[in-house]
Structure 1
Amino acid sequence: MEKLNATISELGNEWEMMKSENMVILFNEDSPQELRDISVVHDGAVSEIVEAGDVMELGDESYDILFVGGKANETLRELGHATFQFNGQSDSDLPGTICLEKKEIPSLEIGQKVIIKSN
C-alpha cells in the first residue's frame, strides 16, 4: 500500500549540501520560502502512518525505513515535511526524523517520484 506518492516540484539551491550530509528534507508546496533552499519540495500528501519496515523510493533507488520519530507523521501530514537521514540508524533524538538504511542518495530531478509504501 502506498502511503505517500509525490512528485518533486522544486529542488532548493542548497539541497545538494544536505545530500552530502546524507539527508533529504522534504516539504510540500506550502512550505515557507526560507526553508525551500535546503528542501526537496513535493506535491504529495501522506495517506497512512509511516512506520519502520516501510520502504521509500527515490528515483530508481529503494531504501528501508529503520526508524520514524515521534513527530514525523504529524509533520508529514501537516506540512509534507520530514528530515530523512540515510544513516543506517534505528533511533534519533530528533522527533521529526526518519532514518533509513545507509545507501547513497541518487541525483534528484523535478518530476521524479517520491514514494513511501508498506513493505
Structure 2
Amino acid sequence: MELFETSIVGIGSQAKMFAAEAMLILFGQGAPEDLKEYTYQIDVNPVNGDIVEGQFIYFDNQAYRITSVGNLVIKNLNDIGHISVKFNGATEAELPGTLYVEAKTLPEMNVGTRISIK
C-alpha cells in the first residue's frame, strides 16, 4: 500500500549541491523564492498513514529502506511538501523534518521522477 506518492515538477538550480552531503530537499510548489533554488519541487499530496522505520521510499524504481523518521516529516509533507531526505542510514532522527534512509548512492532526480513511500 502506498502511504505517499508525488512527482518532481521542478528542480532548483542549486538543488544538486546537497548531494555532497548525501541529502536532497523536497518542497511543495509554494516554496519561498529564496529556498526554491535549493529544492526539488513536488506536488503536495496527503500522507495516508504513518511513515516508520523499515518501510521504503522509492525514486522511480530505486528503493531505499527508511532507517529513521523525524517527528515533523508527516506534518510537513501534508502541509507544504517540505522534507529533507538524508542518505546516511541514521537510526535516530537528528532533525524533525528529515527522513533518514540507508546509505546508498543518491537517486537520479529529474522532472517527472515519481516518489513514493510504501
TM-score for both structures, normalised by structure 1: 0.91
| Map of 1:33 onto structure 2 | 33
Identity %: 30
Counterpart CA distance in 2 for 1:93 and 1:64 is: 17
Q: Is the Cα–Cα contact under 8 Å of residues 5 and 44 in structure 1 kept in the other structure?
A: no
Counterpart CA distance in 2 for 1:57 and 1:96 is: 18
| Map of 2:3 onto structure 1 | 3
Counterpart CA distance in 2 for 1:70 and 1:39 is: 21
Specify every segment of 5 or more residues in structure 1 that has no aligned partner in the other structure, as ranges.
Answer: none
Counterpart CA distance in 2 for 1:93 and 1:43 is: 26
SS at match of 1:94: coil
Q: Is the Cα–Cα contact under 8 Å of residues 44 and 79 in structure 2 kept in the other structure?
A: no
RMSD: 1.2
Q: Is the Cα–Cα contact under 8 Å of residues 10 and 110 in structure 1 kept in the other structure?
A: yes
SS at match of 1:2: coil
Total equivalences in the alignment: 117
Offset at residue 98 of structure 1 (A)? 1.0
Counterpart CA distance in 2 for 1:61 and 1:90 is: 21
1:103 correspondence with 2:98: no
Q: Is the Cα–Cα contact under 8 Å of residues 44 and 78 in structure 2 kept in the other structure?
A: no
Segments ≥4 residues shifted beyond 2 Å: 46-49
Offset at residue 92 of structure 1 (A)? 2.8
TM-score for both structures, normalised by structure 2: 0.92
Counterpart CA distance in 1 for 2:41 and 2:102 is: 22
